Amino acid sequence: EVQLVESGGGLVQPGGSVRLSCEASGFAFSDYTMNWVRQSPGKGLEWVALISGFDTSTYYADSVRGRFIISKDAAKNSVYLQMNSLRAEDTALYYCVREDRDARDYWGQGIMVTVSS
Amino acid sequence: QSVLTQPPSVSAAPGEKVSITCSGGSSNIGLHLVCWYQHFPGTAPRLLIYQVHKRPSGIPDRFSASKSGTSATLDITGLQTGDEADYYCGAWDDNLRAYLFGTGTKVTVL
């Protein structure tokens, strides 16, 4: 059974940093591209970033490029999102998502990040 | 960043059909496979349709989808109260080098 479990969220001050982790199980982690997707309160889904399972290339949404870094550790079956220079508009529920041939097919339960003073 | 446009809401009575359109452009829907996601508030979103029209196991055939040019459509037939959720289309965009979700559509069963 595919499982994705996020951790590391919480309350962060504007300008601060936080690192989200996602531990994967139930599939060959290294074979898959992994994504982070977020949903701000009252808003729709917003794709944040991905790291390729093939060559570890990374892609980011314009809204986070230069502030967020996605990475992974295959030995730990984990993907991370380092979030720096946080803003109030980064407040959201962050989902770790597996990608299979263009489809975001398995989603974690999400972890909340609140940016507030 | 989203340039995939959906109607904010659609509604119909139980048993009827609703259609949700997703309008994009030549750099996203026009070039790439479209997916649809179902999201019940408070739960994780679920993949509903992939590769334009395929359903993951467990998704009933009441859900179907198609694509034409730079637009895609999700149809839900035999509408049930349990279908009340938010629905999002999604596709990669070559110009933005980003994955786009649609603006989202809330389905209401009257």
CB-nearest partner of B45 from A50, A61, A107: A107
| B54-66 residue pLDDT tens | 999 999 999 999 9
First-to-last CA distance in chain A?
A: 40
Per-residue pLDDT at A72: 95
Average of per-residue pLDDT values in chain A = 96
Per-residue pLDDT at B1: 56
Q: If DSSP codes are grouped into helix, strand and coil, which group holds residue B42?
A: coil
Q: What is the mean pLDDT of residues A20-37?
A: 96
Chain A partners of B22 at a C-beta cutoff of 8 Å? none
The answer to whether A32 and A98 have CB atoms below 8 angstroms apart is: yes
Closest CA of chain A from B80, distance in Å: 23
Per-residue pLDDT at B96: 94
The pLDDT > 70 percentage for chain B reads 98
How many residue pairs bridge chain A and chain B with CB atoms within 8 Å of each other? 69
Closest CA of chain B from A25, distance in Å: 17
Per-residue pLDDT at A110: 97
Q: What is the mean pLDDT of residues A10-33?
A: 96
